[in-house]
Amino acid sequence: MQVSPLEIENSLLAHPKKLVTDVVVAGVSDGRMPGEKVPRAWVVLSDSGKMLGRNATIRELDAWHHEHLSKHKWLRGGIGVINQVGFALDLI
């Protein structure tokens, strides 16, 4: 199934507590099936996200996107925290 990274990014940015200021989503290998990619997000924490803490913010974002996106769009590759989006692009 096709997954729009932009749709996932917009969903995370729309969190009511504004926990992130920027996000990038890309497909990463899940290690189970050769060639299969699963969505992974890298987020830049806002001041609210920093105050809540890295792990708590990731848990909130995980619950939020499960409620607001179809199951095939869930971030099965996880959510990582970075300082700026440009850095995440070097990881892909």
CATH of the domain at 10: 3.30.300.30
DSSP-assigned letter for residue 71: G
User: Which phi and psi angles does 46 have, rounded to 5°?
Assistant: -80, 180
How many domains does the chain divide into? 1
**Residue 60: inside a domain:** yes
Domain membership of residue 74 (yes or no) is yes
Segment 53-65 shows an average pLDDT of: 97
Mean pLDDT value across the chain: 89
- Average pLDDT over every residue of 56-74: 95
pLDDT of 91 strictly over 70:
no
3 state SS of 32: coil
Which pLDDT score, from 0 to 100, does residue 3 have?
A: 82
Q: Classify residue 26: in a domain, yes or no.
A: yes
Q: Does residue 89 sit within a domain?
A: no
- Residue 25 domain boundaries: 5-84
- The pTM score is 0.86
Q: Which of 29, 32, 19 is nearest to 62 (CA)?
A: 19
Residue 79, beta-bridge partner list: 41
- Is 49 a member of any domain? yes
In a domain, 90, yes or no: no
pLDDT band at 29 (very low <50, low <70, confident <90, very high): confident
